[in-house]
Structure 1
């Protein structure tokens, strides 16, 4: 019987790449995104790949919409085996004291509260059904300090705490929770960030020992591994996918 995954932020970037990678393993996907066009395009590609997929529009900063995507997934597929808790935004790239409070609230609402709400409702289903696997998206900015992304970094450090503490509480109930910490990766979000802050791309590439940005497909391989049964004894870990970027700084 095919497994079922929920992926937030699946309309593009890491979410879409991971969805397509899981489709190779015959995993059915609930595609969650606020972007209808992107989400429906991901569903189209998944169906062409031969798996069942549905699109659910959601603003993950709103708990009722998060509960709705969980309920709709269970209604359609019957269960949830895997959860890629991935939706997030980066912010403007300005220094913290130049940041509007409205931007802080938006980043925290999506990156932190959205992730907490997602785990709250998805894990409830998983524990009831005997377990499941969750991967939370942190960042290189979630394991080291970086300028120009203070609020983003705070939310991504929170993903590490969320991951480890969930394991402390629910590993005994069959829950596996890990996090990924990608460095700069060629996603639409990162490309837009560098377009708005062009001096930062060259600096980022020069700071990576492999001298290039990562690709969504490289991240997707790691997420797929962590979610599948091949990784049954990896729990509460944070996997850095950054070409050595943070290894030179911590």
Structure 2
């Protein structure tokens, strides 16, 4: 354990996409540091598996369709009405798309944007409601190095993540009067099931070349989770409107 076990004691945090990958690893790390969690996902069995691994008590698992609708704000209002307001939110849910633009379909674009920026905006809208988040709380969204470096086949995904980074900067200013902090994490290649699906069908030479663009090698979900813990804790109280590169040196190239 890198941080003190009591780093997040007393904090109530929502983690989306907690049924697998980065969301799951982050939920486990946050719970190990004392946070009480509300975890969401689309697969009830995998979500229940994550819940069973969380240290501590009082955690809640809820199925939630992150479609960008007003139901997301209603969900946040529901889980905080008459209960402790949230002190943090980490939006880890998302879908991948690696496809040349000429082969992309409007439905695929809508799906990527819905799970990423549309849902992020809906979550932010809910968090801005009175009583949902305590003053001084933190919102954190997953972005990607794809928003800052061009790569063939990534136009739709990169556009969605670039929108996340722009949203973060605007919200950091808008929500500052309440002391709310808003940041994003530009992740490099992290070894998750989603990442493996993304690379399926690529030539081995292309996969190897992509890995070599990360001077410190490919990341693990826990590498992201530890940064999330820092940014959601009081240690990150003076960090807002920033996109943190957690990428094994990818953007340094």
The offset of 1:198, in angstroms, is 4.7
Q: Which residue of 2 aligns with 1:114?
A: 119
Kindly indicate whether residue 80 of structure 2 is the aligned counterpart of residue 74 of structure 1: yes
Q: Which residue of 2 aligns with 1:129?
A: 134
Match of 1:88 among 79, 82, 94: 94
The offset of 1:76, in angstroms, is 7.8
3-state SS in 1 of match to 2:200: helix
Q: CA RMSD in A?
A: 1.8
The offset of 1:31, in angstroms, is 0.6
Q: Which residue of 2 aligns with 1:194?
A: 199
**What are the superposed Cα offsets for residues 74-98 of structure 1, whole Å, 9 maximum, x if unpaired?**
148431110002211112x110111
Match of 2:66 among 60, 65, 73: 60
What stretches of structure 2 of length at least 5 have no aligned partner? 1-8
Q: Greater share of helix residues, 1 or 2?
A: 1
3-state SS in 2 of match to 1:63: coil
Q: Which residue of 2 aligns with 1:44?
A: 52
How many angstroms apart in 1 are the aligned matches of 2:41 and 2:171? 24
Match of 1:103 among 95, 100, 108: 108
Match of 2:246 among 225, 241, 249: 241
How many angstroms apart in 2 are the aligned matches of 1:88 and 1:143? 18
TM score, norm. by length of structure 2: 0.90
TM score, norm. by length of structure 1: 0.91
**Aligned pairs, how many?**
244
Match of 1:25 among 33, 36, 54: 33
